[in-house]
Structure 1
């Protein structure tokens, strides 16, 4: 079992109710990473559902969650033969931190896409930069020791503010860190909700890293990922009046598009 597996584990408390112990290794500053919370909530939804995959998930973030005890409630709204819909809520001290609705189904791991967007052209992972914009690698916060992130040279230069008039786009690789089990950790589908929200805010290219709280995030699972590092491309289409959007697409080691996300967030502060 990897640290990610244990960090997202749930204990059944009552019908549809679970308890979790949120791991401080997934803190961003003083708040839990949103993708990590989505992964915890996805486990609850799948435990309540008759289907094994979260194919469409939408979350609203109402207040920051902190490390420690949390309650997760999963309510099946409809259970069909091919799709079940589950409402989930994560609470601390009786207050809702995140709410979500997850549609579950079963994706054929052998399905061949009729069409899918191709992965971006990126050099091999070992020719990319492992980087956290908040600190150098030696003194990086715990989160970047849980989730390994690598950036192409162009993305690295944008994150460091070395490109004039930068485009808000980042390309690279993301996976569970080697010390936590590595990119071939079991059941990579459970890592997808963290993968789509593990990256620094794409608006970081316009200035120093600042916390940019997510208001709403929707993501779709498009295929069952093969074990190994995931390729990502994140981008923003508009940054306006203190708000920005962020789209993240993710491909597995075989170049299959496995996840897509779109979020609305407040500007970094």
Structure 2
């Protein structure tokens, strides 16, 4: 079992209720990364569902979660032949931290899409820069040691604040660290909710990295990823009045679109 497997594992406690131990390696500052929490909630939903994949997931983040014990409620709202809908809530000390609704089904591996947006043409990962926007910060979290991130030269320059008129768009590659499962983890689909929320906030290009808490995030699984690093493109369409949106598209090593997400977040502070 990889560290990611154990870090996202849930244990049945009673009917519809699970326990989890949130891994401090997935902290961003003092709060657990939202994508990591979505991965834990997904594990509970799939335990409760008769179907193997989370095809549509929508989450509201109400308060930060910390490392340590947590409870997850998973209520099957409807179980159909092809789709089951599960409502999930993660709590700590009796208080809800994240709640969401997950539609589960089965995505055919190797299915050829009738149409899908093509992956960006990026240089190979070996020619991209591994960059941690929190590097050099005292007591910096180990998150980027859990999730490896590589950026194109253009994106890296934006993150470094070296673009005169920065565009809120980042491109590159993301995968689990070798200890956590590596790019060839046994079930890459379980990594998708973390992958779509593992990157620094796209508004980082406008200044130094600051906490930009997600309010709501919806993501869709569009294909079963092949083992290997995932290609990503993240962008913002509007940044105003202390809010910004972020859209992330993710492709696997075969160039298949496997995940799409969109979130609304508070501006960095």
TM range (shorter): over 0.9
Query: In structure 2, what is the equivalent of residue 160 of structure 1?
Result: 160
Query: In structure 2, what is the equivalent of residue 22 of structure 1?
Result: 22
Structure 1 residue 119 and structure 2 residue 119: aligned? yes
The unaligned stretches of length 5 or more in structure 2 are none
Aligned partner of residue 19 in structure 2, secondary structure: strand
8 A contact 1:216–1:264 mirrored in 2: yes
1:147-226 alignment, distance < 5 Å: 147-226=147-226
8 A contact 1:130–1:149 mirrored in 2: yes
8 A contact 2:29–2:140 mirrored in 1: no
State the shift of 1:19 in Å.
Answer: 0.2
Q: Write the distance in 1 (CA, Å) between the matches of 2:105 and 2:4.
A: 23
The TM-score, its normalising length taken from structure 2, stands at: 0.98
Query: In structure 2, what is the equivalent of residue 248 of structure 1?
Result: 248
8 A contact 1:17–1:74 mirrored in 2: yes
Query: In structure 1, what is the equivalent of residue 109 of structure 2?
Result: 109
State the shift of 1:179 in Å.
Answer: 2.7
The TM-score, its normalising length taken from structure 1, stands at: 0.98
Query: In structure 2, what is the equivalent of residue 84 of structure 1?
Result: 84
The number of residues matched between the two structures is 268
Q: Deviations over 1:70-92 (max 9, x none)?
A: 00000000000010000000000
Q: Write the distance in 2 (CA, Å) between the matches of 1:140 and 1:226.
A: 32
Query: In structure 2, what is the equivalent of residue 34 of structure 1?
Result: 34
State the shift of 1:181 in Å.
Answer: 2.4
Q: Write the distance in 1 (CA, Å) between the matches of 2:89 and 2:246.
A: 23
State the shift of 1:134 in Å.
Answer: 1.2
Query: In structure 1, what is the equivalent of residue 59 of structure 2?
Result: 59
Q: Write the distance in 1 (CA, Å) between the matches of 2:150 and 2:10.
A: 30
State the shift of 1:229 in Å.
Answer: 0.1
8 A contact 1:19–1:71 mirrored in 2: yes
Q: Write the distance in 2 (CA, Å) between the matches of 1:127 and 1:209.
A: 24
State the shift of 1:97 in Å.
Answer: 0.2
Query: In structure 1, what is the equivalent of residue 142 of structure 2?
Result: 142
The unaligned stretches of length 5 or more in structure 1 are none
Query: In structure 2, what is the equivalent of residue 72 of structure 1?
Result: 72
Q: Write the distance in 1 (CA, Å) between the matches of 2:16 and 2:181.
A: 30
